[in-house]
Chains A and B, each alone.
Chain A
Amino acid sequence: MKTGVGYRRELRAWIETRPPGVDCLEITAEHFFHNGEEHLSGLAQIFPLFVHGLGLSLGTPGVLDKKILENFARVVRIAKPEWISDHIAFTRTAEADLGHLNPVPPTRAMLQTISDHAREVAEYCVRPMLLENITSHVNLAGDLSETDFLNELCRRAGCKLLLDVTNLFINSRNHDFDALAWLHEIEPQNIVQLHIVGYSRHGHHYTDSHAAPIQDELIELAREVVRHAPVQVVILERDEDLPDTTGIEIEVEKLQHICGGN
């Protein structure tokens, strides 16, 4: 099992020291849409890369945004990742860009929309595609349970899941369900990559600010996922309030603990 970090500009100097525990990097495609090709190419020579998208908006009915897809594919060609990923979400409609990931209802119509889009992206980029669960503060009703929706989505789209352990934990707390029961409803072979970062709290709400150290209960949940599924990659997804080198190394050590170390 590989462990790694989401590549952020602020971590560049540390990453270039090839720190222990960082076997691979996940790059955010949108960070390289307008520049940084040479840098990305350099990174690809040092680390195995995975390309993660934020803005393909797979849940928007209708056709994919061709310009975004072309930019995404260009980044993939340079990074040469083993697989690519984006979210089970929408970020825009024909009318407006919401600038962030929003939930989709677990309906049969949405299954069709996302699976068609995921297949199109995978074929265009010539790479296997993973789909990631998001945090939602809204409970959306549908024809299927969320776990049935995800299992069926994997079948129809020919995809696997990038399970964000933090998002699962946050949703379970905000919407009062059992995260372990949810996990065991997911077909194990579907889960091949994990994201993890500490959660934050605003009053009674749990949020994914990507700004906190990984808490113990997240490590326990992630260990349970690793026992349940053939996870191949675990990525630390820290974006805000990045700690110093020692702090980030402590976070990477937690990933090793998740993978079976002490």
Chain B
Amino acid sequence: MGEIDFITAFARLLRDGKLRDLFANNPLAAANQIHLATSELPAWRQLNPDELEFQAEVLLRKRLDLVKFFAPKTCAQVEERLWPTFREFARENWPPENTAKFLDAFQFCGWLKQRKPEVIAAAEWNRLDFAVSNHRMNFHFVRLPDARWKMRHGLQIFLRRRAGRWHEFFLYPGW
């Protein structure tokens, strides 16, 4: 494996909580683990673990803002434990680049589903599940507020066009 430059190494520290823990205890071991170029060691050694943790948390909070956008009801149902819960999940899970937008919310909700299934909003989970899949079509029976904000059973339908863009519809029986 080739050596990596300072920016690549710094980015790894910011997105990997375990690596930050190792860095706090033994910066040289952390540098060796990721094959940091020797020429970059002086700058690496001067990083402050507390400052790194704060900078990393800024990134996590930005991620959480996006997760809240895609799964608002689920996040609201986690209530005041949302930040520590998300932090626990996200500190060691970084989504791959191109699918990050939906995948982070999908993976967080999947992680929550195993621990606190009661907080998952079914319609949001269905949407995220479809967004990260390659399915052309999917449908689910769910309970959702209608146009008059009355909770009703309905059919949540997803359709994906050839270009990859997808659409979501709701059908309420009796309308």
The residues of A with any CB-CB pair to B shorter than 8 Å are 59-61, 90, 92-100, 102-105, 107, 136-142, 205, 207
Contact = CB atoms under 8 A, between A and B. Distances in A.
B51 A102 contact: no
Given A61-B5, A104-B7, A97 B59 contact: no
Interface string B1-40: 0000111101110110000000000000000000000000
Nearest to A208: B58
B97 interface: yes
Contacts of A100: 58-59, 62
Contacts of B59: 98-100, 102
B50 to A, nearest CB: 9
Contact of B63 (A93, A94, A99): A99
B47 interface: yes
A137 B54 contact: yes
B52 interface: yes
Contacts of A140: 43, 46-47
A213 B5 CA distance: 40
Given A137-B55, A141-B46, A102 B11 contact: yes
B94 interface: yes
Interface in B88-141: 94, 96-97, 100
Contacts of A136: 55
Nearest to A240: B65
Contacts of B55: 102-103, 136-138
Interface residues of B, number: 27
Contact of B52 (A61, A93, A138): A138
B84 interface: no
B51 A98 contact: no
B42 A61 contact: no
A205 B54 contact: yes
Contacts of A96: 11, 15, 94, 96-97
A95 B7 contact: no
A139 B51 contact: yes
B43 A141 contact: yes
A141 B7 contact: no
Contacts of A205: 54
A99 B103 CA distance: 14
25 contacts: A90-B7, A92-B11, A92-B97, A96-B11, A96-B15, A96-B94, A96-B96, A97-B97, A99-B62, A99-B63, A102-B14, A104-B7, A105-B6, A107-B43, A136-B55, A137-B51, A137-B55, A137-B58, A138-B47, A138-B51, A138-B55, A139-B46, A140-B43, A141-B43, A142-B43
B79 to A, nearest CB: 20
B8 A94 contact: yes
A93 B6 CA distance: 11
A202 to B, nearest CB: 9
Nearest to B53: A137
A104 B8 CA distance: 11
B48 A138 contact: yes
A207 B15 contact: no
Contacts of A103: 55
B10 A102 contact: yes
A139 B48 contact: yes
A145 to B, nearest CB: 15
A194 to B, nearest CB: 23
B6 A95 contact: no
B11 A90 contact: yes
Contacts of A95: 8, 11-12
B43 A105 contact: yes
B40 to A, nearest CB: 9
A103 B43 CA distance: 13
A102 B43 CA distance: 16
A173 to B, nearest CB: 14
Closest 7 CB pairs of A and B: A141-B46, A137-B54, A137-B55, A138-B51, A97-B97, A93-B11, A100-B62
Given A137-B54, A139-B51, 8 more contacts: A90-B11, A95-B11, A99-B100, A136-B55, A137-B55, A138-B48, A138-B54, A139-B46
